[in-house]
Amino acid sequence: MFTQKHIDNFSSHETPFYFYDLELLKNTLQKIKTSAPKNYHIHYALKANAHPTLLEIIRNAGLGADCVSGNEVKRALECNFKNSDIAFAGVGKSDKEINFALDNSIFCFNVESVHELKVINELAKNKSTKANIALRINPNVDAYTHKYITTGLEENKFGINPYEFDQVLDVLKNLENINFTGLHFHIGSQIQDLTPFKNLCLRANEINKWFIQKGYLLPHINLGGGLGIDYQNPDANSIPDFEKYFAIFKQFLELQPSQEIHFELGRSIIAQCGSLISRVLYIKNGINTNFAILDAGMTELIRPALYQAYHKIENISKLELPNSTKYDVVGPICESSDCFGKAVEMPLTERGDIIAIRSAGAYGEVMSNHYNLRDQVKSVFM
Ligand code: LLP
């Protein structure tokens, strides 16, 4: 919720920029702490937002790091996450990235294929060390979310399929530089109905039992991330319902007492505390459509163009006025997909008005790019 204090602050900055509400981030982290049972270990998924200022707050709250590139592992280390709190996932880790993670003795590699297992073993052998690994399993559980962010179906490139398990165990027997320490699952992102998480628990129970029967009682079971947020009502639901989310796992996950439970949450931690702040450059009134042309575009926030994602748009220079006019809110980029929202109801809007695009803390700044040779987007914290 923006107040005069925010608007005064924003007026002194060149737009566009990302604004992060650090108090909301701290409150969100506190809520996670009070909602998660003591034996749940939460890793923050850096891919959602890897800004050092935010990472420091997240690390101080006691979370570990979930990384998907060598550079994310490097960033986590630079931001003082403990090596033993860093997990490294990703379907295509390069030798350079694996070597870097080996040199830094991270907590665990989440391994996505039989071939990758052999490569990590070889690289660890060259360094006379052992790599801790979890198998990323493709559980074939539908997350019922956008198809671009569904990851746990057989048609998706991620993870090892149950029909490969016998082969994996055969291969593992001969890999002397691998410590097999866990199972990893991640079925998708922006999951709003909790039923897919229940289905994931039931599937994870079966798979865990299968490995136990084969003689592998694994110390770590990682259920991934994916908890969705309310893009429609960022003020009413600024913190996701972590209690309900963790309650599903408490109720349906049946692990052995010695097994630790891990999560990798990204969006649910960081999305609501970030907004993309922009100014109106021009208004163009047509017969059927009015355009509000902003100085931010798909180069700063690509989610609407890429996933047809909804983000709430507000004219915060005119918060006290009623909505009266519909605008297509667009950016300056030379693409028709450079549109943040169609027929968005706003007060009569003018050049210079400040526009906030809400719930943009996750997969916003990190996915920005330099198309059209755009400047690097800046960040402001309050
Ligand atoms: N773990 C793994 C293995 C993942 O692939 C992801 C996200 C996460 C954890 C964190 O998921 P979260 O809690 O944030 O849902 N760019 C897209 C989202 C891509 C998600 C990729 N994987 C978007 O803007 O919606």
**For ligand 1, what atom is nearest to the CA of residue 191?**
15
Which residues line ligand 1 at a C-beta cut-off of 6 Å?
Answer: 45, 47-48, 66, 89, 149, 151, 186, 189-190, 224-227, 264-268, 303, 307, 362-363
Burial (CB count <10 Å: 0-12, 13-18, 19+), residue 354: buried
Terminal CA-CA length for the chain: 13
Residue carrying structure tokens 């962010």: 149
- pLDDT per residue as tens, the chain (382 positions): 899 999 999 999 999 999 999 999 999 999 999 999 988 999 999 999 999 999 999 999 999 999 999 999 999 999 999 999 999 999 999 999 999 999 999 999 999 999 999 999 999 999 999 999 999 999 888 887 777 767 767 777 888 999 999 999 999 999 999 999 999 999 999 999 999 999 999 999 999 999 999 999 999 999 999 999 999 999 999 999 999 999 999 999 999 999 999 999 999 999 999 999 999 999 999 999 999 999 999 999 999 999 999 999 999 999 999 999 999 999 999 999 999 999 999 999 999 999 999 999 999 999 999 999 999 999 999 9
Dist. CA 253–CA 239, nearest whole Å: 24
Number of H helices, E strands in the chain: 11, 16
* For ligand 1, atom 7: residue with the closest CA: 189
Rounded (5°) CA angle 257-263-269: 140
Tokens 């050049």 identify what position?
A: 351
Do the Cβ atoms of 174 and 209 come closer than 8 Å? no
Q: Which of 264, 303, 307 for a ligand 1 pocket mutation test, highest count of atoms within 8 Å of Cβ?
A: 264
Q: Where in the chain is the domain with CATH 3.20.20.10?
A: 23-271
How confident is the model at residue 299, as a pLDDT? 98
Closest CA to 292 of 220, 203, 354: 354
CATH fourth-level superfamily of 272-381:
Lyase, Ornithine Decarboxylase; Chain A, domain 1 (2.40.37.10)
**Which residue among 200, 265, 267, 303 has the greatest number of ligand 1 atoms within 8 angstroms of its CB, and so is best to mutate?**
267
**Ligand 1 atom closest to residue 306's alpha carbon, by position in its atom list:** 24
Structure-block tokens of residue 15: 């737009």
Locate 244 and state its tokens: 């309900």
Instruction: Indicate the CATH number for domain 23-271.
Output: 3.20.20.10
Instruction: Tell me the whole-structure pTM to 2 decimals.
Output: 0.96
What pLDDT score was predicted for residue 86? 98
**Chain region(s) in the chain for CATH 2.40.37.10:** 272-381
Say if CB 97 and CB 106 are below 8 A apart: no
Torsion of CA 92, 264, 53, 297, to 10 degrees: 60
Q: What kind and span of H or E run contains 30?
A: helix 22-35
Q: Who contacts 37 (Cβ-Cβ below 8 Å, separation ≥6)? A: 246, 250
Calpha distance 58→254 (Å, rounded): 29
